[in-house]
C-alpha cells in the first residue's frame, strides 16, 4: 500500500489594536470556501510525489520495479519516466469534486510505448478529458434524476461549492444513459418468481397533433419471492421502441414462474416468443379498467358499468380458487353475450384464459398477479419527465428515464457507474 500523510498549517492572524477584535468573522468566512479545496489540492500533490517516487525512483535513474499504476494505453506496469523537470512539465488541471473546485498541478509520466499520462488523475478516476471526479459525477446524476437541470446545478454548488453548467449536466446524463444501456441484456438472474411488463406514456419528442399522449415507455421487471435477495430487479426498458426491442432483456429472467402484462397484444406475443413456456397472467388490476372501457364502448351507463367491472374484478382478485375465478369469468361472459355487448364479449374471450393463471399455478394465491409495482415507478418517472409546460426531446427523455429507472432499482450498470474504485482507504482528522 502506498501511503502519504500530509499536514497543512492554516495561518490565522488576529490583530487587535484596542482590545476589540474586528473583522475576524469576515476573515474566517472568506477563507471557509477555499479551505477544503486548498487542503485537497495540497495533499493530493503530496500523494502524487509519492506515486512518482515509487514508480520512477529518484530523478534521472529509471527504475524497473512495478509501479502502483499501469499505462492506460498499453497496460505496462513498469518502466515509466518523469517527463522532464517537474517545474517545466507541470500543467494545472481544473477538477470539480465534492470537496470543491480543485486546481491540481498534475505531473506527467511517459511510458515506453510512447504514451504520456498523469498518474494522479488516473488514481482519482478522472478521465483524460474529464473535469469531474467520480464522486461529484455520481452526486450530480442523483440530483439530476430528481430536479430540473438548473436546480440540480444550484443544489450541487451549495453542497460542493462547484458545479458544471445545466447544459453540461444534460450531457453527463446522456453519457451515463449510454453506459447504463437499458436496452442491453444483463446477466442471468437466479430465483426469479415473476416477470412484469408494462408501459406508460411520456410526453417527449415532436408533438403529434392535438390529441398527443406522448411516447410509450416500456419497462420489464423481475420479481423474487420475499427473503431471496433483492426483491425487484430491473430487466430493461425502452422509450418509443417496439415490444420486440424489449424482448432480449427478458432472457435474464428465463426461470420465472409467471409473466404478468397489462394484457396488451404486443406484450403478450413478445413474451410468448421470448419466454415460451412461462405461463401468462393478465394484470387483474388492469382488467377492471379495460372492462370498464369496453362496457362504455358498448353503451352501458356509468353506474352500471362501474359496478359490473368492480364485481368481476373483485371476483377474480379475491377468488378462493382458480375454479371460482373461472366461474365468475364465464358468468360475466354469458351476461355480456346475453346483452349483446359486442366489445365486452370480444375482450373477455381474449383475456379470460389469462386471468386465473396465478391461482392455477399456486392455489395459495401467493403469486404476483398485477403490475401495480410498475405503476408506482411510472408515476415517479412522470413526475420528472412530464412537468407542465416542458417538452422533452426524445433523446433527453430517453436518457433521463434510463437514469431514473436504473437508480431506483439499483441496476448493476448504475452501481458500477462513477463508483470510487476500491475500498475507502483514506481518512482525514483534525488534530
Q: Which residues bind Zn ion (CB under 5 A)?
A: 71, 73-74, 76, 111, 113, 115
Least gap, CB of 78 to Zn ion (angstroms): 10
Least gap, CB of 67 to Zn ion (angstroms): 11
Of 76 and 335, nearer to Zn ion (C-beta) is: 76
Residue among 100, 161, 162, 98 at smallest CA distance from 135:
98
Of 76 and 394, nearer to Zn ion (C-beta) is: 76
Least gap, CB of 115 to Zn ion (angstroms): 4
In this structure, the number of other CB atoms found within 10 A of the CB of residue 410 comes to 12
What residues have CB less than 8 Å from 78, skipping those under 6 apart?
55, 63, 64, 65, 66, 67
Question: Contacts from 66-75 at CB under 8 Å and sequence distance 24+?
Answer: 67/119, 68/2, 69/119, 69/122, 69/123, 71/111, 71/113, 71/115, 71/117, 72/115, 72/117, 72/122, 72/128, 73/111, 73/113, 73/115, 73/117, 74/111, 74/113, 74/115
Least gap, CB of 114 to Zn ion (angstroms): 7
Q: What's the full length of the chain, in residues?
A: 431
Query: What does the block give as the cell for 19?
Result: 482590545
What residues have CB less than 8 Å from 402, skipping those under 6 apart?
176, 177, 180, 181, 182, 237
Of 57 and 70, nearer to Zn ion (C-beta) is: 70
**DSSP character at residue 247:** G
DSSP letter for each residue of 97-155: ETTEEEEEEEPPEE-TTS-EE-HHHHHHT--TT--B-HHHHHHHHHHHTTS-HHHHHHH
The CA–CA distances, whole Å, from 214 to 144, 207, 337, 390, 391 equal 22, 8, 36, 12, 10
Least gap, CB of 80 to Zn ion (angstroms): 9
Of 71 and 189, nearer to Zn ion (C-beta) is: 71
Least gap, CB of 124 to Zn ion (angstroms): 20
Residue 83 contacts residue 119 (beta carbons within 8 Å): no
Least gap, CB of 165 to Zn ion (angstroms): 34
Of 74 and 150, nearer to Zn ion (C-beta) is: 74
Least gap, CB of 111 to Zn ion (angstroms): 3
Residue 168 contacts residue 399 (beta carbons within 8 Å): no
Residue 394 contacts residue 244 (beta carbons within 8 Å): no
Q: In what order do the strands lie in the sheet with 109-110?
A: 81-82, 109-110, 116-117
Of 114 and 422, nearer to Zn ion (C-beta) is: 114
**DSSP character at residue 66:** P
Least gap, CB of 89 to Zn ion (angstroms): 18
Of 69 and 409, nearer to Zn ion (C-beta) is: 69
Of 74 and 103, nearer to Zn ion (C-beta) is: 74
Query: What does the block give as the cell for 406?
Result: 436504473
Residue among 123, 143, 207, 130 at smallest CA distance from 393:
207
Least gap, CB of 33 to Zn ion (angstroms): 39
Of 110 and 236, nearer to Zn ion (C-beta) is: 110
Of 76 and 154, nearer to Zn ion (C-beta) is: 76
Of 38 and 76, nearer to Zn ion (C-beta) is: 76
Least gap, CB of 72 to Zn ion (angstroms): 8
Report how far apart the first and last C-alpha atoms of the chain are (Å, whole number).
24
Residue 118 contacts residue 45 (beta carbons within 8 Å): no
Helix, strand, coil percentages, rounded to 5, for the chain:
45, 15, 40
Amino acid at each position: 500500500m502506498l501511503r502519504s500523510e500530509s499536514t497543512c498549517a492554516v495561518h490565522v492572524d488576529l490583530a487587535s489594536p484596542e482590545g476589540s477584535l474586528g473583522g475576524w468573522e469576515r476573515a474566517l468566512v472568506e477563507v471557509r470556501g477555499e479551505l477544503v479545496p486548498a487542503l485537497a489540492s495540497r495533499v493530493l500533490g503530496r500523494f502524487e510525489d509519492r506515486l512518482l517516487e515509487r514508480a520512477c525512483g529518484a530523478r534521472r535513474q529509471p527504475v524497473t520495479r512495478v509501479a502502483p499504476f499501469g499505462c492506460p494505453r498499453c497496460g505496462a506496469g513498469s518502466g515509466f519516466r518523469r517527463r522532464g523537470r517537474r517545474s517545466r512539465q507541470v500543467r494545472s488541471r481544473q477538477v470539480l469534486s465534492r470537496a470543491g473546485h480543485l486546481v491540481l498541478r498534475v505531473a506527467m509520466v511517459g511510458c515506453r510505448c510512447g504514451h504520456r499520462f498523469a498518474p494522479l488523475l488516473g488514481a482519482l478516476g478522472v478521465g483524460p478529458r474529464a473535469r469531474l471526479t467520480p464522486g461529484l459525477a455520481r452526486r450530480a446524476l442523483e440530483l439530476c434524476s430528481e430536479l430540473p437541470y438548473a436546480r440540480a446545478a444550484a443544489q450541487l454548488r451549495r453542497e460542493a461549492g462547484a458545479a458544471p453548467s445545466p447544459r453540461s449536466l444534460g450531457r453527463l446524463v446522456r453519457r451515463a444513459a449510454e453506459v447504463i444501456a437499458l436496452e442491453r441484456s444483463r446477466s442471468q438472474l437466479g430465483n426469479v418468481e415473476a416477470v412484469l411488463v408494462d408501459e406508460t406514456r411520456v410526453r417527449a419528442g415532436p408533438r403529434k397533433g392535438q390529441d398527443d399522449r406522448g411516447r410509450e415507455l416500456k419497462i420489464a421487471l423481475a420479481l423474487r419471492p420475499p427473503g431471496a435477495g433483492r426483491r425487484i430487479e430491473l430487466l430493461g426498458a425502452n422509450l418509443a421502441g417496439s415490444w420486440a426491442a424489449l424482448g432480449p432483456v427478458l432472457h435474464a429472467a428465463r426461470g420465472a414462474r409467471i409473466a404478468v402484462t397489462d394484457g396488451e397484444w404486443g406484450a403478450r406475443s413478445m413474451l410468448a416468443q421470448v419466454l415460451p413456456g412461462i405461463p401468462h397472467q393478465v394484470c387483474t388490476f388492469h382488467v377492471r379498467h379495460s372492462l370498464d372501457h369496453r362496457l362504455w364502448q358498448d353503451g352501458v351507463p356509468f353506474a352500471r358499468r362501474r359496478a359490473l367491472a368492480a364485481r368481476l374484478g373483485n371476483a377474480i382478485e379475491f377468488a378462493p380458487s382458480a375454479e371460482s375465478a373461472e366461474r365468475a369469468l364465464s358468468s360475466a361472459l354469458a351476461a355480456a353475450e346475453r346483452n349483446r355487448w359486442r366489445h365486452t364479449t370480444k375482450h373477455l374471450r381474449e383475456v379470460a384464459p389469462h386471468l386465473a393463471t396465478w391461482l392455477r399455478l399456486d392455489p395459495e394465491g401467493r403469486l404476483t398477479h398485477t403490475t401495480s409495482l410498475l405503476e408506482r415507478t411510472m408515476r415517479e418517472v412522470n413526475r420528472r419527465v412530464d412537468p407542465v409546460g416542458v417538452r422533452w426531446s426524445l433523446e433527453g427523455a430517453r436518457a433521463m428515464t434510463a437514469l431514473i429507472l436504473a437508480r431506483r432499482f439499483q441496476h448493476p450498470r448504475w452501481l458500477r457507474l462513477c463508483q470510487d474504485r476500491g475500498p475507502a482507504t483514506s481518512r482525514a482528522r483534525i488534530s
